[in-house]
Structure 1
Amino acid sequence: MPTHDEAHAAWQARLLTASFDPDACHDWPGRRCATIYLLGCPWRCVYCHNPRLQTRRRQSGGPDWGQISRELESLRGEISGVVFSGGEPTADAALPEALAAVRAMGFPVGLHTSGAYPERLERVLPLLDWIGFDLKADYEGYEAVTATPGSAARATRSARLVVASGVTHEFRLTWHHEALNEDSARLAAHFAHHLGARHFVLQTFRREGVDNPALAAASEPPASLIRECAGLFGDAFTLRREICGLAGA
């Protein structure tokens, strides 16, 4: 039977961290925060801007938890939150312990998620102060974006959990005309509105980090889609052109 200290150390050793950004301007809207990037994602989205984080395998040069916690201590009074991103952070079974550790340090905690693991997301919801939920398409269009069978059902369940939790959140949809069409994007926005999403973001595609040479380098959302999203959500709609959740080297 492991001692308490051994059990505590075990999650720190298991957590697969890729990088740490001490000054993230756009990862939690309205806050200057630090972002911790975890490794692993079961989906292969056509426009993924962190493809090197998809494989769940420890990378050389990634910070360990001791380094991250020391950096967070040094940032007291300078940041107003810590975001866990990826990859898909719920792919890491040690995420609950890491979230609890950051909360114990006194920082508000945010999460970027696509909802790929609804059961794991449900367990960590009580530890979160904010969620950025990446909605990919309407139900029928999910697999074309994620290249993963069953992703629509998982994302749908997770979306419902996020809204029902009462945790402050935003739903964001990335527009690229080669990944989804306007009807798919419109249906996704209506789905978020039907659920009662508090804030909806239409994100313009950014080329940074994307490792897909077949994808057009630029894609501007149609004006009609922007108008419809604005009509659905009013002041709770944002057209975002800044890139968020981009992992450093």
Structure 2
Amino acid sequence: MDTVYRHIQNHYDDLSSTEQLVIDYILNNGDFLNLKMKVIQKSLHISAPTIVRAIKKLSYRSFTDFKYALANSEKQESALNSEESYELLISTFSSDFSRTIAMMDKDKLYAIASVVLQSHRIFCMAMGSSVSVVNSLNRKLKQFGLWSNNYTEAAPFRDIADVATKDDCLLIFSLSGKEEQILASVVENKTNGVTIISVTGFSNNPLANLSDISLLTYQTPQKRTKLRSRLMLSVASEIIFETILLKNEEENK
């Protein structure tokens, strides 16, 4: 199911920043089959070999193979444009959910679970509409018996570096991965050896690049820059917590 998105999740960190821009552009275009390589070259001011190199790093032989893999993973795409707004909304959520699930890499999830279970303290961070996701996860981590606290404003972010050590981790949820207050805290805590875990929307963003472990979710590009749905972040949060429970059970057998 949607193996193309699993390939992207597995190899996205292997791409250079320019190659990540290529993949982001292709995914945001949507009309995969009609997308021409020369359009990407002109839009991003890059060469054809760069585009091909990015695609080959994702384990696809050619630009055409990659386009057809994307198109085949969402056969309902052509029907979405003719549906009523409600049906479009439901179909979009369904498509985003399937892609996000496909991108949930087992190795990364187990790595996150291991860090969380071994950490002395877990600092859960978010801003804006992502706060509800962090509050829910923080509550469950506490109920599970872990030391966890939620930080959702700029002032408390600055305080974390005063107490966090290499035995702790930051668990951050951010759709854009670009909030300056969060990035400033991440940079400061990295110098203290704190493990940084991030869950972001699918994009070439600074938070994912700064993280020790980054997990990506998919969301269909929207015209709204504010009030975007955090549903896929919530999906990732639930999967992370369930993986923590599973990892703990396996270790205590």
Structure having the higher helix fraction is 2
Larger Cα-atom Rg:
2
Same fold (TM over 0.5): no
